[in-house]
Amino acid sequence: MIEVQNSTPLLVGWYDPLKQDVAGLRTTEIKGLWRWWARTFIAGALYDLGLLRGEESSNTVLKPSEDSITTISYFVGKILGLGYVGRIDKKEESEASRFTLYVEGRVKPKQLSSKLQRIRLLGIKEKKKGVKEERWIEGVEEGQKFRIFVKKRISKDPEAEGLALKILLLALQLSGIGKGSRRGLGSLDICSLDACSELPFTKDIKSLIDDVYSSCCEIVKKYRNDVKTSSAIREAKCSDFPPLPLISKGSIYNVKISQIIRVRNIKFEALHNFFVRSERCRVLYGDPRCYDDIRCERVAWFLGLPRQQKNEKNTGYFTEDVPRRASPVIVSYHTDKNVFGDGGFITFLVSGDWPKKILWRGEGMKRPININCESIVNALNIVFNEFDQYLRKLKAVTEVIWP
C-alpha cells in the first residue's frame, strides 16, 4: 500500500470536463503514468546499449522503428509484467498485467482559484450572446489523502517485477496526475510505503533513479537474446538522435539527452507559471509585456503543441500534420511530507518526435518554422537557459539529480 497526498491542486475530469470525478484518482490514470515512465526508462536503456533505432517519417523529424516499438512493448509488458498485447504474425500470446491496482479515497470537489496558469486556461472566459462569462472548473485542493494498493497476481520474474514497482514510485515522484500534470498539477506526495517494506529501495531520489536505470540496462542485457530471436531488435548507432522521450546517460549535439533537476526555496505557483510568457517576463524583466528569448527566437513550440492564444487574433504556433505534441519539460512539486523530500522536480527530455513544419502566427504576420534535430537542440538550450535565469532571479536552489 502506498499512501499519497496531493501536494498541488488535482484536476481529474469526469463526464463534464469542468467537473471533478468524485473518485479523486483513477486507477487507469495511474496505470497509464506507470507504463509511460516504464517505456521511458526501458527505451533509455535500449538507446544507450545501441539497440534503439529511429526513422524519418513524412510528418515528423523522427519516429521509432517498428522493431523498436515492438521491443519496448515486449520489455514493458512481457518482462516487467505491465501487460502485453501479443503479435499474431509471430504467434505470441498476449499477457494481462501481473499487477492489480486500486485506489481508496473519495473527494469533495471545489471550485478552484484561477491563480495558476493551467487553471486559468481551462476556465477562460467565453462570449455568450455578446456577454463574457467565466467558466469555473472543479478540482481537489491540496491535502487530500489516498491509498494506492498494488498487488501481484502472479510472479514470473521477481527481479523484473521489483523493478516495475520502483518505476511506479518514480512515476509518482516525477509527474502529476490529471489535467496540467506536466505542469505540476496533481503532484502526489508519497507519505508512507508500508507494503513496500519487502522491496529494498533508497529514499534518496537521485540514487533511486540511478538504481532503476542500471536495473533496466541489466534486464535488457539479460533478455536481449530472447527478444532478438523474434527479430525485434536490429543494431543501431548510439550517436543517432533519440526518436522518442527516454532516460539516458548520453549526450548529443553537446547537450544531455535527459536531465532532471531538483529545485528548492520556490513556491509552486512561481514554478508552474514559468510556462506563461507574461509571468516569466514579470520575474525576468519586471514587465509582463517583454520579448524574452523564448519569444524572440520563436521556440515556445518546445513547451508543447498546440500552443495557441485563445483570442480573436488567433495567434500562436500551429501545425496541421501532428495534432498534439506533449511538452518534453515535465514538472512535479512536493512538500516536506514526501518520503523523498520536498521541492520541485523538472525533467527535460530531448527527442526527434516533433512535426517537421510549424506555422507561427503573430499580430499581422506569420512565419513558417522548419524543425530538425539541430533546431530541437537549439530550442532546448534557449528554454533551459531562460528557466535557469528565472530560477536565479527567484533565488531558488537547484541540484542536478540526473544524470
Q: How far apart are CA 161 and CA 54, in angstroms?
A: 28
CB 2 within 8 A of CB 147: yes
Q: Strand (E) positions, 153-304?
A: 188-192, 251-252, 255-256, 258-264
Copy the grid coordinates of residue 380.
532546448
> What pLDDT score was predicted for residue 58?
87
> What pLDDT score was predicted for residue 233?
53
Tally of structural domains, the chain: 1
> What pLDDT score was predicted for residue 151?
93
Say which residues have a Cβ less than 8 Å from residue 172's Cβ, sequence separation at least 6: 2, 4, 30, 33, 188, 190
Q: How far apart are CA 101 and CA 244, in angstroms?
A: 27
- What is 44-73 written as a DSSP string? HHHHHTT---EE--SSBS-EE-HHHHHHHH
> What pLDDT score was predicted for residue 1?
87
Low-confidence residues of the chain, pLDDT below 70? Answer: 87-91, 122-135, 194-201, 228-239, 307-313
In the three-class reduction of DSSP (H, G, I as helix; E, B as strand; rest coil), residue 318 is classed as strand
pTM, two decimals, is 0.92
Copy the grid coordinates of residue 390.
528565472
> What pLDDT score was predicted for residue 130?
53
> What pLDDT score was predicted for residue 327?
93
Residue 139 DSSP symbol: E
Q: How far apart are CA 56 and CA 63, in angstroms?
A: 6
Q: How far apart are CA 59 and CA 67, in angstroms?
A: 19
Q: How far apart are CA 254 and CA 259, in angstroms?
A: 13
Instruction: Give residue 44's region: left, alpha or beta (phi > 0; psi -120 to 50).
Output: alpha
What is the distance between the terminal CA atoms of the chain, rounded to a whole angstrom?
29
Domain that holds residue 149: 2-402
Nearest C-alpha neighbor of 356 from the set 309, 307, 305, 314: 305
CB 27 within 8 A of CB 322: no
Nearest C-alpha neighbor of 126 from the set 238, 18, 12: 18
Q: Strand (E) positions, 207-319?
A: 251-252, 255-256, 258-264, 307-308, 316-318
Q: What angle do CA 402, 334, 117 make, to 5 degrees?
A: 100
Q: How far apart are CA 173 and CA 344, in angstroms?
A: 10
Copy the grid coordinates of residue 17.
470536463
Q: Where are the alpha helices (DSSP H) in 76-152?
A: 117-122
State pLDDT tens for residues 280-319: 999 999 999 899 999 999 999 999 987 665 555 678 888 8
> What pLDDT score was predicted for residue 230?
46
Copy the grid coordinates of residue 148.
494506492
Would you tell me how many other CB atoms lie within 10 Å of the CB of residue 279?
17
CB 241 within 8 A of CB 63: no
Say which residues have a Cβ less than 8 Å from residue 175's Cβ, sequence separation at least 6: 33, 37, 181, 182, 187, 330, 331, 332, 347
Q: How far apart are CA 123 and CA 117, in angstroms?
A: 10
Half-sphere exposure of 68 (CA within 13 A, CB side): 25
CB 132 within 8 A of CB 172: no
**Helix (H) or strand (E) run with residue 131 in it:** strand 131-133
Determine the angle formed by the axes of helices 66-73 and 27-48, rounding to 10 degrees: 120
Residue 260 DSSP symbol: E
Cα diameter, the chain: 66
> What pLDDT score was predicted for residue 322?
77
